[in-house]
Every structure is written in structure tokens, then in C-alpha cells.
């Protein structure tokens, strides 16, 4: 069976025909091509999912941490690269399985006794080498915390030379060195005087201070725990810092408003760092002039990138 088409060109008749066999072969060929194409697309989709699934997790974690779009993209592609590297290592191990087998047990035909000693000699090489290197390079780490003296646990006053050497450049000369006892909230911490100054009285064991010009979310509000963790990352418990009040302000109340500099971490205040990372908002009534302009600029940058509290729903 089949079909044909014919027409006349003057005295000559031209005809074209297609047999049923040709039709069947053509149809079968189209089915095969379609099936192969579908299999290729399915395999490509599976490979894409296998290679890129870590990017979704990394992007979600980066967004939850309050990072901006640039850091989210970097985290996403970094996760994909690490996952691809892991897969290559796994495939390489499978490919080199025979080589590893020969390394541990010897080539085929090796005697059982020799295989036993060869296996344990190779297996113990890495841990023994690591232990030897570890013992060679390890040394006791001294406790950086100063010794406490006196029945009240007040730290000894540092010498003027040590105080001047550890004072970060650019902070007021009236700044006072303190030891961080605990972080209470995203903008409040308990400190203890560790040197002379006019902000805190050395006679007091501990004092709660709050950061001037910033307002962090309180317990129960969106990103409150994260904001507290951000402050704790800058001034962990037991660390030392410098605090200063605004010029001319009085120490009113039990929680003085201060600017805070972590010791040994540069000249930027923690107040400004919290605003830049979105861990707090500007308390406009506590700052003015150039300080307020800078603080509001920091807050605007965090809001534009939807960092921290700026990623919360409206009213959160």
C-alpha cells in the first residue's frame, strides 16, 4: 500500500509515489528522534537539579542572615562550586578505586600476609603523620584575660603606657576602658570599668550602658535575637572596649548612652557598624549634626540592601 501523485507535462506523464514501508520507517524515525530528545532533556534537567540544589539553600540562608543581593549571589554560586567540587572528588575516588585497592592491598596475586601488613602500614600513615605534626607545632595558648584582684572582683587598673598603646586612634581622650560582662540586648550591654575615666565609677562592680543614637529591636520583635547576636559578635563577653559620652552630656540614670569602640578592631564605633548591617535603626533624638547625617546614611544603605531589620515586614 501507499499513495502516488501523477501529472502530465504534454506527452510525458510524471508520477511520484510513496510506499507504506517508507511511511512506516519515516514515522518510526520521528518517534525515535522525539524519544531521544525527551531523554536528553530529562537527563539535562536531572543534572541541573543535582548540580544547583545547594544554591537554593545557600540563597535562603543568606537572605535570612540579612545579607544584601551581592552577598546572596556570591553565596549561591559558592555553594554550587563546592558541591560540584565534591561530586568531582567522589567520581575521582570511584575512578581510582582500583588504584586505591592496589595501594592498600597490593597488586592481584600478592600473598595474604603481605597484604595484611601493607594495608595497616598505609592506613596508619596519615593519622601518625598528623599526630606528629600536631604535637610539633602545638604550644600552650596564654589566657588573654587579665588577673582579677580584690574581694569584689574588680580588675586591676592598667598602666598609663598600656592604656595609651591599646587605645584605638581617633577616639576621644576622655574615653574609658571597660570590660564587657554581658550583652543584654541589641543595643544594651553590661560593662565593668577597667581603667580610669569619667563615664563609669570604678567603685561600681557593673553598669548597664546603651548605645547612643541607635535603637535595636526588643525581645519579641522581628530580628531581635539576631540583633543581639550581632552586638555580641563585636564585643563578646570578657572582651575589652572603650566607651565615651557625647561632649557635655551628663551621666543621668542607670544606663548611660555611650559610643562604643571594640578594642583592637579599628576606629569605627559599634554604633555605626550596627546601623550598616541593619541590626539597629537610628534614634534620631539622641544625635545631631554630622553624626546624625552619617548615622542616617548608614541606615539608608542597610535599608536599600534590605539588611537585618529592614527585611522585616512593615510593622514587624
Query: What are the tens digits of pLDDT across the range 234-268?
Result: 999 999 999 998 754 545 456 899 999 999 888 88
Q: Is residue 67 part of a domain?
A: yes
Q: Are residues 29 and 101 in the same domain?
A: no
What is the tally of structural domains in the chain? 3
What does the pLDDT look like over 33-78, one tens digit per residue? 989 999 999 988 888 787 777 777 877 777 676 666 777 777 777 8
Q: Are residues 217 and 272 in the same domain?
A: yes
| H runs (alpha helix) in 191-266 | 224-234
Q: Are residues 171 and 292 in the same domain?
A: yes
Last residue of a domain, one of 71, 95, 119: 95
Last residue of a domain, one of 95, 112, 143: 95
What does the pLDDT look like over 91-135, one tens digit per residue? 777 766 666 666 656 666 666 666 666 666 666 766 776 666 655
Q: Are residues 263 and 285 in the same domain?
A: yes
Q: Are residues 304 and 188 in the same domain?
A: yes
Q: Are residues 80 and 114 in the same domain?
A: no
Q: Is residue 316 part of a domain?
A: no
Q: Are residues 91 and 172 in the same domain?
A: no
Q: Are residues 107 and 188 in the same domain?
A: no
Which domain covers residue 103, as residue numbers?
A: 97-127
Q: Are residues 170 and 304 in the same domain?
A: yes
Q: Are residues 181 and 259 in the same domain?
A: yes
How far apart CA 246 and CA 212 sit, in angstroms, is: 9
Cell numbers placing 225: 535575637
pLDDT computed for residue 316 by the predictor? 45
Q: Is residue 203 part of a domain?
A: yes
Q: Is residue 1 part of a domain?
A: no
The answer to whether 256 and 245 have CB atoms below 8 angstroms apart is yes
Over pLDDT 90: what percentage of the chain? 34
Q: Are residues 88 and 104 in the same domain?
A: no
Q: Are residues 180 and 265 in the same domain?
A: yes
pLDDT computed for residue 292 by the predictor? 93
Q: Is residue 3 part of a domain?
A: no
Three-state DSSP state, 207:
strand
Residue 225: C-alpha distances to residues 231, 236, 241, 277, 300 (Å): 10, 15, 22, 14, 22
Q: Is residue 210 part of a domain?
A: yes
Q: Is residue 11 part of a domain?
A: no
Closest to 74 measured CA to CA, from 63, 84, 85: 63
Q: Is residue 285 part of a domain?
A: yes
Amino acid at each position: 500500500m501507499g499513495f502516488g501523485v501523477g501529472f502530465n507535462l504534454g506527452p510525458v506523464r510524471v508520477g511520484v509515489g510513496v510506499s507504506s514501508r517508507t511511511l512506516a520507517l519515516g514515522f518510526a524515525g520521528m518517534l525515535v528522534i522525539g524519544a531521544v530528545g525527551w531523554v536528553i532533556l530529562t537527563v539535562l534537567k536531572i543534572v541541573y537539579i543535582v548540580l544547583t540544589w545547594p544554591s537554593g539553600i545557600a540563597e535562603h540562608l543568606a537572605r535570612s542572615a540579612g545579607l544584601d543581593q551581592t552577598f546572596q549571589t556570591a553565596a549561591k554560586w559558592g555553594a554550587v562550586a563546592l558541591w560540584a567540587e565534591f561530586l568531582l572528588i567522589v567520581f575521582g575516588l570511584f575512578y581510582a578505586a582500583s588504584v586505591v585497592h592496589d595501594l592498600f592491598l597490593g597488586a592481584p596475586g600478592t600473598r595474604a600476609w603481605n597484604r595484611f601488613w601493607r594495608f595497616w602500614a598505609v592506613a596508619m600513615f596519615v593519622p601518625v603523620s598528623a599526630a606528629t605534626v600536631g604535637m610539633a607545632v602545638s604550644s600552650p595558648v596564654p589566657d588573654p584575660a587579665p588577673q582579677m584582684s580584690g574581694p569584689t572582683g574588680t580588675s586591676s587598673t592598667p598602666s598609663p603606657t598600656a592604656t595609651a598603646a591599646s587605645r584605638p586612634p581617633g577616639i576621644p581622650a576622655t574615653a574609658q576602658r571597660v570590660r564587657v560582662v554581658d550583652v543584654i540586648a541589641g543595643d544594651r550591654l553590661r560593662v565593668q570599668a577597667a581603667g580610669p575615666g569619667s563615664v563609669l565609677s570604678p567603685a561600681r562592680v557593673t553598669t548597664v550602658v546603651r548605645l547612643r543614637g541607635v535603637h535595636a529591636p526588643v525581645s519579641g520583635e522581628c530580628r531581635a535575637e539576631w540583633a543581639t547576636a550581632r552586638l555580641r559578635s563585636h564585643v563578646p563577653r570578657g572582651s575589652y572596649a572603650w566607651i565615651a559620652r557625647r561632649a557635655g552630656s551628663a551621666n543621668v540614670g542607670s544606663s548611660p548612652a555611650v559610643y562604643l569602640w571594640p578594642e583592637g578592631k579599628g576606629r569605627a564605633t559599634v554604633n555605626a557598624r550596627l546601623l550598616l548591617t541593619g541590626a539597629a535603626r537610628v534614634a534620631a533624638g539622641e544625635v545631631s549634626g554630622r553624626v546624625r547625617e552619617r548615622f542616617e546614611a548608614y541606615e539608608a544603605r542597610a535599608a536599600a540592601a534590605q539588611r537585618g531589620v529592614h527585611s522585616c515586614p512593615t510593622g514587624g
